[in-house]
Structure 1
Amino acid sequence: MKISSIAVMAGILMNTASVFAWAANPAEIKEAGFTMIDIAGHEVPVAAGGLYDRFRSNPPLSAIESEAPGVDLSWFRGLKKTKVDIGFESYSPNFYYKNNRITAVFTADLERLRALIPAEVLDKVQPLQVWPGRGLVALTAYAYEYCDNDSYNEIALSIVTNEPGSSNLGPISLFGQSMSKDFWGYVLKLPVNTELARVRGVVGYNLPKWLTGIDRRDNDTSVIFEIVDHETGKVDVVFEGRKLGDTSDEIELVTNGFTNVGHDGALTYGYAVSRQLSHATSTSADSVNLTLNEGSLATFMKSLKLGRMVKYEYVPQFQSALYAPEPLKSILATE
């Protein structure tokens, strides 16, 4: 891992323009190919004629098959959507048909991580201590190329925790999660680059989402995500991951759960199941290059006192199903 503090003076102009398009007047929005819809009292621009505009998170798979004939829909055919009220009418799970991501897991200051988790959540889950004074955070950059919410990029920064209702045994718990492919965390930051993704995440899941520029590009050797500071318009964080050559095509199901506080103050949990179609991992520090500049996200990440990178995941192809939040007490045997 390489962490530097080089100030980047130029923003990503095209991405910044798309980020602030939602604030333009209705005529400009229409001309840009967007239409306005209401989600829980929020006026949200969505792609005119896109999946969300037409189907509101419940497109028939026949429509997906027609528009994306190369996408394997066999897994989704075995999943049933249910109408839910998450502050607005939606359907669970939300389907992500074609996506890619990179993830880096770093050690971080354990006491700082504890301080960032609300007391009521900390009563149920705690950061996993991998050695004295050190916990773990996972930084993931997602590119959702084709999903029920059209397409968008997202950056997730999460504390790795024990599963709610289970003992926190540090490395033993981490090993158990790795073996079962069932991981748990507490989400700290979740910037996205569309207003649709922001509003749905904040209203429906009470997640810490905000709107900013997130640009994904790649070259022969790497995948690069550049995250813009939403206040200055300058590049704040650059997350670069190697394209690993030893990818496996063996399909692997991975579950990522998170504990949270709902809008009503009650504890909730949510989870996503990912069907990884192509994937590889590395523990080499050279697999990741992380640049932290001077914006709000980079400053927050510096406060975690990131240390050694313990795992890197390169997932150039995956599919996912994100389930609506449920009361945490429903999975706690002691409740």
Structure 2
Amino acid sequence: MDDLRDVDEPVDESELAIEGALRPSSLAEFVGQQKVRGQLQLLLDAARIQQRPADHILLSGPPGLGKTTLAMIVAHESDRPLRLSSGPAIQHAGDLAALLSSLTPGEVLFIDEVHRMARSAEEMLYLAMEDFRIDIMVGKGAGATSIPLDLAPFTLVGATTRSGLLPNPLRDRFGFTAHLEYYEPVELERVIERSARLIGVAVPPEARAEIARRSRGTPRIANRLLRRVRDYLIVHGDGADADHAIVDAALDLYDVDPIGLDRLDRAVLDAVVRRFRGGPVGLSTLAVTVGEEAETIESVVEPYLVRIGFLGRTPRGRVATPEAYAHLGVRSPESMLELDDL
């Protein structure tokens, strides 16, 4: 079965169209992140009153919490055009120079995964953010000269899932930095209620709560699970609402268990618990064991397992907790020792 998680995988045009339709277009429609919303609203209102572009904004946090959506809202509420790019696409200073020189006055530039930009581009961005100017090098060697190029004032919105990888000079040039937190189940229920209304699916409160419990605190995953429930309802529902039984059947079909773990999550836990007797086990060894890239395990699987207390990181490697043993229905070493003492 396909893993319903936030990974870099191809998405068909219909899925992209639905995701776009589900995105809120204003801060008032945006669910959750109340503190960040209030801070952004103040930032945008001040810029509007002073008739200037908003300060540069850095949005950090795990994938799927709404960083791209907030960038779109910044452009929409500022009544400015939005230019989209990403760190991996900017691998040379020339790439960034071409992008910056084509911006119109006040335009909002969104760079996703900004920490993955090339170092030469990062250094060019320092001057562009601070003075709206870049220096273009012409020629090579001793005869090379630097030609300054003025830029139209713009607002940079950077998004990153790993803010610790950003160099301090770049981080310091953002006028506002926000960290997005995982959502509470009640907030996800509101996201699901809104999305269900937009895609025309009737989802009773108890079914919304069940989807929210399996969504790993992430709105993007909640919307994806909702779409799979909708698909199941179309095929097997016979015109019924997406009740608790329908949600259970649909998500069980896609290997999403009652707390949101999927096939890969359980494979990682099972390897640590059964194959390596609870650990510690190194990341590369664990990746080979489950047949997955180490980066995928570290960035996609581990954060949730650590957050819910199923996995621990130690200097010697990953270790399973008693909660992980209990979830898999396996006796933990601690419980075995307790039985031996009786």
Fold equivalence (TM over 0.5):
no
TM-score under structure 1 length normalisation:
0.21
Q: Which has a greater percent of strand?
A: 1
TM-score under structure 2 length normalisation:
0.21
Q: Which has a greater percent of helix?
A: 2
Which structure would you say has the larger Rg?
Answer: 2
